[in-house]
Amino acid sequence: MTDGLTLVPPRLVPPLDPDFRPVVLANRAFQKEVAEAGVGVPLVLGLERANGELSRFETQVFPSAHPRAAANLMYVERLVKFLLWQRGGWRVYVGGPHEIGEYIQACYSPAGVRKFDYHFMGEDVYEQTFTVTICAAAEVPPVNESGRALGRHLDGCRIGFDLGASDRKVSAVIDGEPVYSEEVVWEPRKQTDPDYHYREIMTALKTAAAKMPRVDAIGGSSAGIYVNNRAMIASLFRGIPKDRFDEIKDLFLRIRKELGVPLEIINDGDVTALAGSMSLEDNGILGIALGSSEAAGYVDMNGHIVSWLSELAFAPIDYRPNGPLDEWSGDIGCGSQYFSQQCVFRLAAKAGIVIPNDVTDAEKLKFVQEKLEAGHAGALKIWQSMGYFMGYGVAHYADFYEIKQVLILGRCTSGRGGQLILDGADEVLKTEFPELAARIHMQLPDEKSRRVGQSIAAASLPQIIH
């Protein structure tokens, strides 16, 4: 699949993953080559989502007759893949050389190499037939974006919750101050009965409710894609049979009706970004949570949460042909394998660490983190590698988001690991991308914000109508 596209080795090599080939370096090498050839032609990608919203991405490629035109195919296919998971879309407009459109059409078809994405983005998320429309660059429709001024409501007695793949968290919040918080270990991905999720979530909500005189509103975050408080799909619910998934889709509408208060639930990455925006009192924030998978979210320069997916766990950051496989989507080199406990587990064997098999994933991560805190040389290399991954990943993300601040958090950043990731990422930006290092500030939240910031931000989502 690498035909014609130059894979550039990083100057800072992850110590446990020397074959890593950053997307950002390959893309920039391709763009430089096109520019130096002096014959580039425009390529415009349009991604249509729900309610007629549309994103555009514009670049240059080699003309069809050029000897290097074969490199266009991988370059554009990987762009489409990234954009689909960053912004979402059930229709992709490919405006440019016709053979590129035909290639994307073949890849993103029911029998194509991206058949997972075809079904996921079409039927599962947007409830449409996924479509690739081939056209001239000038025929791609104009941008139609919107953002929601969601959250930042702190009045009253609120519940904030976060549903992760390893634990569920809930907080009782009164006028912006948490009065109770708890974390409960669970393993929702193995469950096949929607009632399990209903019972666990209701138990959490009732526990928090008992700590306050009343409940005025409930806000939540969870891994997955949520549209109008409906769970369209999520790895969290991957054990639920397809013929019962409608019970999950409407789960939070059911809970809202039963409890009789405003309830809003959105992607956990967006709540991460909102929490960062609230605590830093700034906008243009990309939040990246390194937990059971990679969760990302974005607050734009206007302080709004955009309707993009920001499911960067499934967006590629590594172009090597033998990259680690995401077992859900079937693709390689995606963020989930670099910015999560999955990365820790993947690199542990290379670090000389044997992880127990008969414990939960949360306990497996804790086992490796204890090695790190004890000064194990191999464990140190795991987090150093993740830091270098993060630096190249953020440089890539900066080509698609307008970023002032990057907030890194999540279970993998606890203890010494968080600073190691931050230090490695900063080193990459300063070494390879000094122009980004000058304008993007990367940081970890303080310990209090790590534990309660997400809960407060989630609790602030609904507006109480007095």
* pLDDT value at residue 409: 87
Q: Assess whether 115 and 177 both reside in one domain.
A: no
382 within a domain of the structure (yes/no) = yes
Residue that is last in its domain, among 145, 173, 195: 145
What residues in the chain have per-residue pLDDT under 50?
1-2, 451-452
**Same domain, yes or no: 82 and 212:** no
**Do 442 and 374 reside in the same domain of the chain?**
yes
pLDDT of res. 1: 38
- CATH at 313: 3.30.420.40
Q: Are residues 404 and 292 in the same domain?
A: yes
- Residue at token pair 């019970």: 247
Residue 200 has a pLDDT of 96
Residue 167 β-bridge partners = 185
Judge if 366 and 338 occupy the same domain. yes
Residue tagged 């172009």 (tokens): 319
**Count of structural domains within the chain:** 3
The predicted pLDDT at position 449 comes to 57
Residues 68 and 190 in one domain: no
Of 79, 113, 145, which residue sits at a domain end? 145
Whether residues 286 and 244 fall in one domain: no
Q: Is residue 404 part of a domain?
A: yes
Q: Kindly state whether residue 2 falls inside one of the protein's structural domains.
A: no
State which of 267, 283, 300 marks the end of a domain: 267
Structural domain includes residue 173: yes
How far apart are the two ends of the chain, measured CA to CA in Å? Answer: 58
Q: Are residues 313 and 446 in the same domain?
A: yes
Let me know if residue 62 belongs to a domain.
Answer: yes
Do 202 and 301 have their domain in common? no
* pLDDT at 193 (0 to 100): 96
Q: Domain span at residue 131?
A: 39-145
Asked whether the whole model's pTM tops 0.75, one would answer yes
Give the model confidence (pLDDT) of 44-68 as tens digits.
999 999 889 999 999 999 999 999 9
Assess whether 289 and 405 both reside in one domain: yes
In a domain, 311, yes or no: yes
Residue 205 lies in a domain: yes
234 lies in a domain?
Answer: yes
Judge if 92 and 192 occupy the same domain: no
Residues 158 and 140 in one domain: no
